Structure 1
Amino acid sequence: MPEPSTAAFDAEVARALRSLEADSAVPALDPLGDPAGAARALSAEGDGAPLLLRAAPELGAPQRDKDARFGPAPRDPVWLRIERGASALRLAPMRLAGAGRPRSGTAGAAGAGEAAGAGDGAAEPRDAVRVELTSAQGPCCSAPSCTRERTHVAAWLVLAPPPRSPAPARAVAAQRLLVAEAQDLDPGPAEALVESVAAPLAAALRVPLVTARGTEPPGAIAPRPLPEPAPAPALTAAALARFAIRTEGELLVLRDHASQGPRGSATRNALIGAVLLVAALALWVQVMRSASAGDSGIAIGVGSAAALLSLAGYAFLGVARFSSRYAARSAPVASFGPGRFVVAPWVSRTGAIDLRPEGRLGAAISAGEVHAVRVQSRGDRFAVEIDTDHGPIDALLTDREDVARYWRDAMDRAVASVRHPGGPSAKQRLRARSQAQQPAAAS
C-alpha cells in the first residue's frame, strides 16, 4: 500500500492552525476518533489555555448513479478553538492552501469553505448555541434472519449564523457540527459514551445541553461518568490531521485526507496508456507492411500483439480519465457497515462510498470474522493490520507508531460497534470443521 507524500498537506494544515493562532505541535482533541480521551480532557479543570478540537460538518443526502447507491459526498473536518467559560469560539477549515485560501475545485473544498462560513476559508469567530443529542435506529446486520436493531447516538454542536452573513441568509445559516457519536445494540452504553463528551463540552462553552430527557441549562449540567480505560496522551494537531473517522450515511468511514485518491494516479495511467498506444501504432504499421508483402503468419502474430496493446492502452486512458475527474480531497481507508467492513471501498467521482459490499481488495468481510486489530512494523513505517479468517489485511500505513496505535484503537471500536453478537457464524463453523478434518485425512 503506497504512502503518499504528505508535505503539501502538512503545510496546509499548519496554515489553517496558524489562522487560529494555534501551533501544529499542540495537542488536539478528536471526540470522533478518541471519545474517551476527549471526554477526560474536556472534564479536566485545565490551566486556562484554549482547547483545540476537531469536528465534522453535516453531510448532504445519499447519492445514486444509475443502479449504484452511494453515501453522501464527504466534507473535510474543521478545527475549533475553544475558550472555557465562553460560548464564542473560532472555527477554521482543516487546511488552507496558500495565503489563507482553501485548496480549489472540489466538493471537499466547498465543504471546508462552507464550514468556516467565510468565502476565503480563513478562521472566523462563531457563537455556540447549544449541544444537542440525536438518536436513530438501524439494522444490526445484513442477515435476513436478524431482527435486532442498533442505536446510533450523535452529539451536535449547533452554531449561530456567521456575524457577517447577509440578513436573509442568517435565517437559514445555522450550522451543526458532529462532535461525537457511538452505536450499540444497547442504547445505554452509546448514550453514556456520547454524553460523556457532550456534557463537559456544553459546560465548557456555557451553552445548554439538549438530550432526550430534556434541556439542561449551562449552569446545571450534571457531570457524566468518564469512560474507561484511561486513554493514551492526545495526538498533536499535526499528527491527528491526516486521518479522520465519522459516519457517512449508513456507514462509518475512516478517511485519509492527505491522499488524492484515484486522482493521484491519473497522470501515471495516462502516460502508460499513451506509451502503449504508440507501441500499438508501430505494430499496426508493421502488420500493414507484412500483409502487403504476403507474410500472413507474421501479420497475424504482430496483429495480435497490436490488438492487445491497443486494448491495454485504451483501458489505461479510460482509468486515467475517470481518475482525473475524482473531485474529493480524501480517499477512504475503510468503511464499517451493519455486520461487515470493507478495506479500500469503491467510490464515486465525488468521493462518496459505494454501498455495495465490496471494494478494491475484494468482497466485504464479516465483522465476526475479525480476530484482532494490531499495529505491525513495516520497515520504517507502521501498519494497522486487521487479522481475519481470510488472513491479515493492512488497512492503514503511517510513519508514526503513536498514530498507528491511535487509529488501531479507533478501528477496533468500529469493528466492535458493527459486529453481530453471538457465537461463530455457520460459515465459520463449516470452515473450522473443514480445517479439523484436514489433519485426520492426511494421517
Structure 2
Amino acid sequence: MAERAVISSDPLYLSALASLGASVPASLKTLVTHNSIAVLPFVNMSGEPGQDHFTDGLTEDIITDLSNVPGFFVIARNSTFAYKGKPTDVREIARDLGVKYILEGSARRSDKRLRINVQLINGSEGGNHIWAERFDREIADIFQVQDEVTQRVVTAISGKLADKNIVARSRPSNLEAYDLCVRSRGKWDISRSTTIEACADLERAIQIDPNYCEAHSNLAVSLLHGWLIWGRPQIPGRAKALVHAQRAVEIEPGDSHARAILAYVQLYERNWDEAKLQLDAAVRLNPNDAHAVALTGELQFYLGNPQAALAACAEALRLNPRPPGGYFWTLGMAQISSGQYEEAVASLRREETYGTGSREALIAALALASRISEAQEEARLFLAANPNWRFGDLAANSPFRSASIGQPFVDGWRLAGLPD
C-alpha cells in the first residue's frame, strides 16, 4: 500500500476539518507522497458547450483509472473540478491538494475523431513538465486512449512500464450508451427533475448495453435518491435500486464504485452486515475511492460507532478536500453522536451542506449545544419546507441499527420544539 499523508488522530483534527475549503490545512498533512496526483478538468476545445459532459467524463474516467493503480494516491473528482474554468497555478494547486503531480489536458471531439492533449507536471518541485503527448484517434478508440494516458502517466511517475500495474475496468460496448451514462453522472444530487432525467438516460443506456456496469450502479443510486431524498414513490423504485446495484457487482465484482453503491442501497435496506461487507471490499479494491470511504463513515455512524465514523470522514476529506455536502453532513452527525456539538454546528453550517436536508441534524446540534433560539429558528425554516415532519420519520427513514443510536437527535429536536 502507498504511503499516505498522515491524518492526525487526536481530537484537534476535528477543528481542523471545520476549516477545510480553500486548501487542506498543513496540520493535516505531514507528508506528500511520491506517487500522488491530481487530474484537473480537461478543457473542451470543440467550441460546443454541449460537449462539456464528454470532456468532463473523459477526465473522470482517467481519475478512476489512476485511482485503481496500486501504490498511487489520487485526489477525487469533486476536489479537482473545483478549479474548472479558473486560472490555474499548478504549484499552488499541488500545494493545496497535497500532491506532487498535476495532470492537465484538453480534448476536441468531432463526429468521428478525437484529439486529446495531455501534460504531466511536477507541481511540488517548480512546475516542471515531465511528459506531454497528443492523441489523435477515431472517436471509437476513446477507451483505448484512456488506457494509454493512464499507462503513460504511471510509467512517467514510477519509472517502470505500467502495463502490469493497471487494473482493467469493464468498458461499455456502445458509445451512445457511454454518452448517456456520462451525461447522467451526479444528476441524482441536483433535483427531483434531474434525478428523473438520469433514470431515463440510464435505463436507455442499459437497453443499449445490458452489461454496462456503471449504468446499472448509477441507475441504482438514482432510484435510491428518488425515494430517499426527492419524494418519489418507494414502490417500485426501492426494489429496482437493489436489483440494479446487485447486477452491477455481478457484471464487475472488482469495481469499487459498484460495490460502494450496492453497500449504500443495502444500508437503507437495513442489511448492515452486507453493507459493511461490500464497503470493506470497495475500499480494499480501491483505497482512493473517496466516496466509498465517506460511505464507510455513514455506515459506522448508523451502526453506533461515531469514532470510527469520524476517522473515515477524515480520510475521505484527505482524498477529497473539496467534497460534496454529504461528507460534512455525515461528519456533523458523527460529531453529534460523540458529544461534540459545537464542532457539529460548524460542519453542518458549511456552505456545501447548509440548507439541504442536513438542517434536520443542525437543529439537534444547536439545541444540544444550548443554542436554543438558533435551533428554534432553524426548526421554523425546516418545518416550512417539511410541514408534516414528525420524530417518527427518524425511524422510518434512517437506518439506525438501534433506537438508542438516534436518541441524541430526538433529545435535540425536543429541545428545539419540533413536533413528536
TM-score by length of 1: 0.27
Structure with greater strand share of residues? 1
Calculate the TM-score normalised by the size of structure 2.
Answer: 0.28
Q: Which has the larger radius of gyration?
A: 1
